[in-house]
Amino acid sequence: MTYHSDSFEGIGVTNQVTVTDPGTLAEAGRIARAEVEALDLACSRFRDDSELAALNRSAGRPFRVGPLLLEAVETALHAAVWTDGLVDPTVGRAMHGIGYDLDFAIVVSRSGDLTSLTPVPAGGWQGIAVDHDERLVSVPRGCELDLGATAKALASDRIAAAVRAATGSEVLVSLGGDIAVQGAPAGGWPILVTDSHREADGPGQTVAIGEGGLATSSTTVRRWTAGGVEMHHIVDPVTGAPALGPWRTVSVAAETCVAANAAATAAIVLGSAALEWLAGKGLAARLVEHDGAVVVTGGWPGP
């Protein structure tokens, strides 16, 4: 099988759309670029002109949002319910507290200048009010949303569905390693699961998926130093500090990319209890300990 791919940089990651019909690649690439651009404008917490930034500045007042941000907020709240709050979108201030308040490249470049660390617990997803019909979202004063655990995965799901509907081609979408597929070639799409989506030949495991989504959460890629302590970007909503636990990387396959990424993030936060939690959800997962030891659950294939 020959695959046809279009790759581009955006939202701080490498994005790729792959189809089996070469005649549909140009349209698939156009759809993917337009969706990523819309995602950045609606959901970025690094752009002062994004809708999310304006929502976070609304100081408790109902704020009318566009359809994409509304979907992203409702998706994040659903993930919070599904994970029992392990994935909480109200960690915006927590991210500021650990120094992740700008684009990651800038955070890394100033690591030596970050001399203090102020963990801030999540504001609590239950405090977010949404009026779907009026497209109004209310964020409590002093609380900030961060949609990083779900918005990119949502965009992957949306792009895959849009490309399939527009072209009829089997399609795989990867936004920074958040993967969604619609249709698949015989035997499924081969995917290398590793610590970083940028490591095309890195150590890991190649698996195949035929539907749904696959996502990896890792504490090894986005790391920097604040207050003399090494940080990573997956925070425990209870403490506001980077999650502690045995896993450096968790990969999950699920019905959607959103579900896969939410589950992978929740497993990092949950720590040693993640195996039982993932099994209870009926999810196939691959968990890598800090020393490189691999544990699988829910029907994930062995090495």
Q: Is 12 helix (H, G, I), strand (E, B) or coil?
A: coil
Q: What is the mean pLDDT of residues 279-289?
A: 97
pLDDT at 120: 86
Interval 225-283: pLDDT, tens: 565 556 557 899 999 888 888 999 999 999 999 999 999 999 999 999 999 999 999 99
Look up residue 213 and give its two tokens.
Answer: 């989504």
pLDDT at 137 over 80: yes
- pLDDT, one tens digit per residue, over 152-193 is 999 999 999 999 999 999 999 999 999 999 999 999 999 999
Looking at residue 198, its pLDDT comes to 61
The CATH class that applies to domain 4-297 reads alpha beta
The SS3 of residue 8 is strand
Nearest 5°: the CA angle 296, 218, 94 is 130
pLDDT of residue 95: 83
pLDDT band at 117 (very low <50, low <70, confident <90, very high): confident
For the chain, the C-alpha Rg in angstroms (whole number) is 19
The residue among 125, 139, 130 whose CA lies nearest residue 55 is 139
pLDDT of residue 113: 57
Write out the DSSP string of 83-102. TTTSS-TT-HHHHHHTT--S
What b/e string do you get for 252-276 counting C-beta neighbours within 10 Å, with b at 16 or more? Answer: bbbebbbbbbbbbbbbbbbeeebbe
Whether 39 contacts 155, CB under 8 Å:
yes
61 has pLDDT over 80? yes
Q: In whole angstroms, what is the distance from residue 207 CA to residue 259 CA?
A: 18
Element (DSSP H or E) covering residue 57? none
**Which pLDDT does position 119 carry in this prediction?**
82
Residue 105 has pLDDT above 70, yes or no: no
Question: Using one digit for the tens of pLDDT, what is the confidence trace for 199-223?
Answer: 666 678 999 999 999 999 988 766 5
Determine the pLDDT at residue 234: 87
pTM for the predicted model, two decimal places = 0.92
pLDDT tens-place string over residues 23-52: 999 999 999 999 999 999 999 988 999 999
Residue 302 binned pLDDT confidence (cut-offs 50, 70, 90)? confident
pLDDT at 288 over 70: yes
